[in-house]
């Protein structure tokens, strides 16, 4: 971005300092940036509801990600645009036995808001509840993969997984897996995080004051933090414009150009792995035909989508959920790109005739609706007729998603590439929304997960991406960058790959 | 009415009894309509709560927990039986008692509507009276023009224009009406200002027009003509003769204005993200939080029916002709 000088200068300092540090070191000190204490930080985020509770198992939106990053800590944190792993409540960790056994050493001297010290027992409890019978946690599959947990000492935790997974540390950075006191039954917001809740009105606001015993010494600069429920994009933008909020998550790409001209405001963008795609159910007519699937993958002009839907801010996708900026992205495989002639030939070969009904909805975000209309035009040039059906947002996820033969989908960013590949595309996963099943793909990701050697792991994931890209049932044309608004008095903000500096903006920034 | 057959005629009591009974019937019908309406929407609470994370097993478990596997009629009757005892159940989305979710929001809405009424009624009724006094003047025409303008303008547009000018451009007021840290009177005044101005702008139009018409229709009556012939000044005619007689329609207008205000409040709450009952109801519809939607619907209906009833009752009380039984009516 052009107009992020002030921010990115400090951001670069921070990130550069961070690169030189070992993951096990405590948080670095930046004398140059001269952060200062004081003030009230207001953050406006979407995804709050009047039905909200402080039960971490219910955290499932950007709003609750930010609350988690403000009130709580996870064992491991993900930082910056390259998804660098950093210590959270665990100061170091080590995997062995094909990624099956993990040992986490906890930070010394970390305390909960009520003064109790943090021990391995708290961590065990906090992870365990996500797999309890009544849990509807979005991290349930992570907790379910844990075979056993034990405390070697109050600050040393041993976790055995049912199956090896070298992404486990990244997975426990997922915001619902925050640490709460052992035995918590009444979820009242007591955590270890930089701020403690002083007022919680579901669906409206959370206010929090600095936790003086916070274990990270050079963090949490503001005295108070207000997290406003700003679900409506227009309300979020105007609250940002008027200065009521200093950090605004997910601003509309189409209005970003107008917001750019504001004085004392900066727009930053982060390159997340969330995407809008089109699913073709690979197990039923007509999309059980791989030629038809490929014909459609070649019938969408990705550059045009990038330009028109995302204002040029994003990255072209290759029909796999791994964006080009991900370390695991397979750069060597063939890129699916717009080729009306080949698409027409493959379409003819598939033997399909007549219009294809593409279901889309605001539920799958606004770009999904616009993108479907654009796709129709692109495909028409290859002689493929797409009939766009706009479904009501109400009930879309129950009635249309993963059910209509051809429909729009949206996936949020996951803490690791392995998670999204497994959740959305492996055989038998409840989240497999294209019903696609491929033995070679399943084998490749299962082997990759337990492969200790990083280079070999990368090769295996490249194989998996190659199979998915050429045979899979999903079309992922573009990964749109996400635009966030930052007021100029907010300093030290480093965009990550998830909203609000990977949800931890409250402790990261200070007010000038 | 049965009562009138055995007792001496008492129109007011009969009126009250019949209106209370018909009001209660309306309320029950409305709750049934809301219930059916919410059930007809695609998707259910379980699906809305779980969203994309829904698996068939999770959906089934949650539906069972929430009692959504029971037939609709049975669920309604259970709810109705509870509501009659004053128990509105628990919110399907949060598991908290509905009254606990509802009451703070109701208080916020009443504050907003109350503040709106305090400014709206004097401005609109005063403006209407002045327009009638100065009928045909530039003031009358200006009032007529602005009334038409704001009648034609959707409520949310007024809200957004105010946000653009006073929050975004001038920065005088917050655009989202959420009480900040240590929200004292000053903070509340700040967040209420723009929503209240919106309510006044939207609501004044038809109240002003109705008041003006009411006064003018009284002015067209014979005793006013008589007073004019006697040479009494127009101002005196209006204040001494027309206004007391127009009081009954003006009272009705005022109360109906408050009823309409409740409707406008819903829209304005959404525009300003004001934490009131209207926003709660809209949010709850999105989550298919049936128990909360039901309770909100019931409250809105109750306010509307009560206001209408009060309007008619007051009209009867201030108008002596309606208090006595009609003479010569079929016995």
Contact predicate B245/B218, CB 8 Å: yes
Residues of B in contact with A202 (CB under 8 A): 94, 101
Which residues of chain A make contact with B283, given a CB cutoff of 8 A?
49-50, 203
Q: What is the mean pLDDT of residues A173-187?
A: 93
Task: Tell me the Cα Rg of chain B.
Answer: 24
Q: Do A244 and B275 touch (CB under 8 A)?
A: no
pLDDT tens for residues A149-173? Answer: 999 999 999 999 998 888 899 999 9
Tell me: the pLDDT tens digits for B10-20? 777 888 888 88
- pLDDT above 70 covers a percentage of chain B that reads 85
Q: Which residues in chain B touch residue A134, judged by CB atoms under 8 angstroms apart?
A: 65
Q: Identify which of A207, A242, A411 has the shortest CB distance to residue B171.
A: A242
Rounded to a whole number of angstroms, the distance from the CA of B155 to the nearest CA of chain A is 16
The pLDDT mean for chain A works out to 87
pLDDT value for A124: 95
> In angstroms, rounded to a whole number, what is the distance separating the alpha carbons of residues A269 and B123?
48
Query: What is the rounded CA–CA span in Å between residue B80 and residue A185?
Result: 32
Q: Do B181 and A392 touch (CB under 8 A)?
A: no
Alpha-carbon distances, residue A339 vs A344, A378, B286 (angstroms):
9, 10, 41
Check CB contact under 8 Å for B275 and A238: no
Report in angstroms the alpha-carbon separations of A422 from A146, A430, B190. 16, 10, 50
What pLDDT, on the 0 to 100 scale, is given for residue A12?
Answer: 37
The CATH number fitting domain A4-192+483-511, selected from 3.40.50.150, 3.90.76.10, 3.40.50.200, 2.60.120.620: 3.90.76.10
B326 pLDDT band (50/70/90 cuts)? Answer: low
Burial B74-93 (b: 16+ CB within 10 A, else e): ebbeebeeebeeeebbbbbb
> Would you say residue A20 has pLDDT above 70?
no
Taking the Cβ of residue B181 and every Cβ of chain A, the question of whether any pair is shorter than 8 Å is answered with yes
Least CA distance to B53: which residue of chain A?
A138
Inform me whether the pLDDT recorded for B49 exceeds 90: no
For A389, phi then psi, to 5°, come to -110, 120
CA nearest neighbour of A360 among A320, A307, A309? A309
| Torsion angles phi and psi, residue A129, rounded to 5 | -60, -25
pLDDT given at position A28: 38
Tell me which residue of A55, A92, A52, A86 sits closest to A72, measured CA to CA: A55
pLDDT digits (tens, 9 = 90+) for A252-266: 877 777 787 778 888
- Interface contact flag, A238 B164, Cβ < 8 Å: yes
pLDDT at A14: 40
**Nearest by CB to B51, which of A205, A229, A397?**
A397
**What gap in Å lies between CA A211 and CA A195, rounded to an integer?**
5
pLDDT-derived band at B322 (thresholds 50, 70, 90) equals low
User: What Cα–Cα distance (Å) separates residue A234 from each residue in A230, A248, A254, A276, B271?
Assistant: 9, 11, 12, 21, 9
Q: Give A406's pLDDT tier (boundaries 50, 70, 90).
A: very high
Does the global pTM surpass 0.90? no
Other beta carbons within 10 Å of A285: 10
| Cβ proximity of B68 and B44 under 8 Å | yes
| Residues recorded for chain B | 331
A355 touches chain B (CB under 8 A): no
The mean pLDDT of A351-356, rounded to a whole number, is 91
Tokens standing for residue A241: 């414009």
- Domains belonging to chain B, first-starting first, are 98-323 (1.10.3720.10)
The more confident residue out of B99 and A42 is A42
Select the residue from A39, A48, A51, A403 to test the B interface by mutation, using most B Cβ atoms within 10 A: A51
Q: For A392, which residue in chain B has the nearest alpha carbon?
A: B42
- The residue of chain B nearest to residue A410, with distances taken between CA atoms, is B52
Concatenated DSSP letters of B184-222: -HHHHHHHHHHHHHHHHHHHHHHHHHHHHHHHHHHHTSH
Given a cut of 70, whether residue B264 has pLDDT beyond it is yes
Enumerate the β-bridge partners of residue A377: none
Distance CA A297, CA A473 (A): 9
- Which residue among B48, B178, B283 places its CB closest to the CB of A50? B283
As beta bridge partners, residue A196 has: A209
Helix axes of B72-84 and B11-40: crossing angle, nearest 10 degrees = 140
Task: Name the residue with higher pLDDT: B80 or A33.
Answer: B80
Can you name the residues that pair with A158 across neighbouring β-strands?
A: A103, A150
Find the residue in A nearest to B171 (Cα): A242
Residue the block writes with tokens 């909360």: B292
Q: Residue B2 pLDDT more than 60?
A: no
B10/A94 Cα distance (integer angstroms): 88
Rounded to an integer, the average pLDDT of A122-146 is 86
Say which residues have a Cβ less than 8 Å from residue B308's Cβ, sequence separation at least 6.
Answer: B255, B256, B259
Of chain A, the percentage scoring pLDDT greater than 70 comes to: 94
The answer on pLDDT for B51 being more than 50 is yes
Is B62–A396 a contact, with Cβ atoms under 8 angstroms apart?
no
Is it true that the peptide bond before B311 is cis, omega within 30 degrees of 0? no
- Whether pLDDT at A510 is above 90: yes
pLDDT mean over B180-197: 79
Give the pLDDT of residue A418. 86
CB proximity under 8 Å: B 201-260 to A: none
Q: What is the pLDDT of residues A35-58, one digit of tens each?
A: 889 999 999 998 888 878 899 998
CATH code: domain A275-480 is 3.10.105.10
Report the gap between the CA of B275 and the closest CA in chain A (Å).
Answer: 7
In angstroms, what CA-CA distances link B323 with A33, A74, B250?
Answer: 80, 72, 18
Neighboring chain B residues of A207 at a CB cutoff of 8 Å: 181
- Stretch among B54-68, B147-161, B189-203 having the lowest mean pLDDT: B54-68
Least confident of A161-170, A210-219, B75-84: B75-84
This complex has an ipTM of 0.71
Touching check for B94 and chain A: CB below 8 Å? yes
Compute the average pLDDT of residues B46-72.
69
Helices (H), chain B: 2-6, 11-40, 45-50, 56-66, 72-84, 98-133, 138-152, 155-162, 185-219, 222-229, 234-236, 243-271, 277-286, 290-318, 320-323
Domain ranges of chain A: 4-192+483-511, 275-480
For residue B286, what is the nearest residue in chain A, using CA coordinates? A394
Q: A188: how many CB neighbours lie within 10 A of its CB?
A: 13
Residue at token pair 């051809």: A406
Mean pLDDT of A360-380: 90
Cα dihedral A293, A298, A300, A306 sign: positive
């Amino acid at each position: 971005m052009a107009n992020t000088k002030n921010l990115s200068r400090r951001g670069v300092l921070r990130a550069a300092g961070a690169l030189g540090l070992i993951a096990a070191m405590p948080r670095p000190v930046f004398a140059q940036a001269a952060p200062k204490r004081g003030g009230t930080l207001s953050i406006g985020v979407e995804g709050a509801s009047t039905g909200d509770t402080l039960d971490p198992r219910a955290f499932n939106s950007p709003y609750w990600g930010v609350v988690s990053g403000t009130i709580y800590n996870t064992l491991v944190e993900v930082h910056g645009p390259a998804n660098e792993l950093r210590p959270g409540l665990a100061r170091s960790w080590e995997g062995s036995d094909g990624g099956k056994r993990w040992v986490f050493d906890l930070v010394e001297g970390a305390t909960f808001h009520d003064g109790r010290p943090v021990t391995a027992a708290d961590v065990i409890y906090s992870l365990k509840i996500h797999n309890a019978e009544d849990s509807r946690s979005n991290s349930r599959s992570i907790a379910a993969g844990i075979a056993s947990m034990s405390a070697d000492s109050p600050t040393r935790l041993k976790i055995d997984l049912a199956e090896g997974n070298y992404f486990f540390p990244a997975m426990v950075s997922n915001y619902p897996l925050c640490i709460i006191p052992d035995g918590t039954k009444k979820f009242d917001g007591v955590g270890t995080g930089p701020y403690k809740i002083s007022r919680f009105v579901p669906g409206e606001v959370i206010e929090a004051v600095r936790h003086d015993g916070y274990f990270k010494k050079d963090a949490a600069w503001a005295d108070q933090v207000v997290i406003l429920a700003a679900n409506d994009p227009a309300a979020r933008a105007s609250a940002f414009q008027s200065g009521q909020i200093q950090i605004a998550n997910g601003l509309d790409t189409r209005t970003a150009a107008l917001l750019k001209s504001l004085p004392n405001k900066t727009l930053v963008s982060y390159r997340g792995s969330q995407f809008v795609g089109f699913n073709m159910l690979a197990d039923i007519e007509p999309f059980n035909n791989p030629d038809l699937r490929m014909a459609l993958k070649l019938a969408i002009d990705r550059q045009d989508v990038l330009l028109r839907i995302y204002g040029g801010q994003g990255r072209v996708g290759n029909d796999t959920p791994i964006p080009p900026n991900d370390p695991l992205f397979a750069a060597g495989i063939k890129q699916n790109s717009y080729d009306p002639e080949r698409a027409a030939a493959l379409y003819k070969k598939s033997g399909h005739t007549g219009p294809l009904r593409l279901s889309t909805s605001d539920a799958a975000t606004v770009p999904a609706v616009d993108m479907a209309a654009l796709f129709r035009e692109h495909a028409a040039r290859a002689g493929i007729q797409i009939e766009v059906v706009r479904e009501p947002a109400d009930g879309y996820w129950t009635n249309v998603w993963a059910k209509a033969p051809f429909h729009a989908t949206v996936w949020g960013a996951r803490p690791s590439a392995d998670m999204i590949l497994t959740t959305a595309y492996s055989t038998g996963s409840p989240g497999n929304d294209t019903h696609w099943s491929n033995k070679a793909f399943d084998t490749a990701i299962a082997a990759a997960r337990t492969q200790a050697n990083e280079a070999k792991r990368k090769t295996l994931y490249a194989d998996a991406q190659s199979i998915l890209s050429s045979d899979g049932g999903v079309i992922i044309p573009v990964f749109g960058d996400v635009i966030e608004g930052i007021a100029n008095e907010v300093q030290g903000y480093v965009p990550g790959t998830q909203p609000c500096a990977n949800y931890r903006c409250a402790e990261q920034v200070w007010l000038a | 009415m049965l009562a009138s057959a055995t007792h001496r005629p008492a129109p007011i009591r009969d009126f009250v009894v019949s209106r209370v009974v018909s009001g209660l019937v309306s309320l029950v019908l409305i709750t049934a309509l809301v219930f059916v309406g919410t059930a007809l929407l695609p998707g259910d609470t379980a699906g809305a709560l779980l969203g994309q994370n829904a698996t068939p097993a999770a959906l089934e478990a949650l539906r069972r927990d929430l009692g959504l596997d029971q037939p609709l009629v049975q669920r309604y009757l259970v709810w109705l039986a509870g509501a009659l005892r004053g128990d509105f159940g628990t919110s399907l989305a949060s598991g908290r008692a509905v009254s606990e979710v509802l009451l703070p929001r109701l208080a916020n809405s009443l504050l907003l509507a109350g503040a709106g009424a305090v400014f709206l009624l004097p401005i609109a009724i005063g403006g209407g009276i002045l327009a009638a006094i100065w009928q045909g003047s530039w003031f009358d025409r200006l009032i007529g023009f602005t009334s038409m303008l704001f009648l034609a303008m959707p409520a949310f547009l007024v809200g957004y224009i105010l946000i653009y000018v006073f929050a975004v451009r001038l920065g005088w007021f917050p655009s989202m009406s959420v009480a900040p840290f240590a929200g004292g009177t000053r903070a509340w005044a700040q967040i209420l200002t723009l929503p209240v101005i919106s309510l006044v702008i939207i609501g004044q139009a038809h109240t002003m027009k109705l008041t003006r018409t009411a006064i003018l229709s009284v002015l067209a009556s014979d005793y006013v003509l008589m007073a004019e012939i006697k040479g009494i000044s127009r101002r005196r005619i209006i204040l001494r003769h027309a206004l007391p007689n127009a009081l009954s329609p003006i009272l009705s207008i005022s109360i109906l204005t408050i009823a309409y205000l409740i409707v406008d409040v819903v829209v304005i709450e959404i525009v300003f993200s004001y934490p009131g009952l209207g926003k709660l109801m809209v949010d709850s519809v999105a989550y298919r939080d049936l128990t909360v939607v039901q309770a909100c619907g019931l409250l809105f209906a109750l306010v509307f029916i009560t206001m209408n009833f009060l309007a008619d009752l007051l009209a009867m009380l201030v108008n002596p002709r309606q208090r006595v039984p009609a003479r010569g009516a079929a016995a």
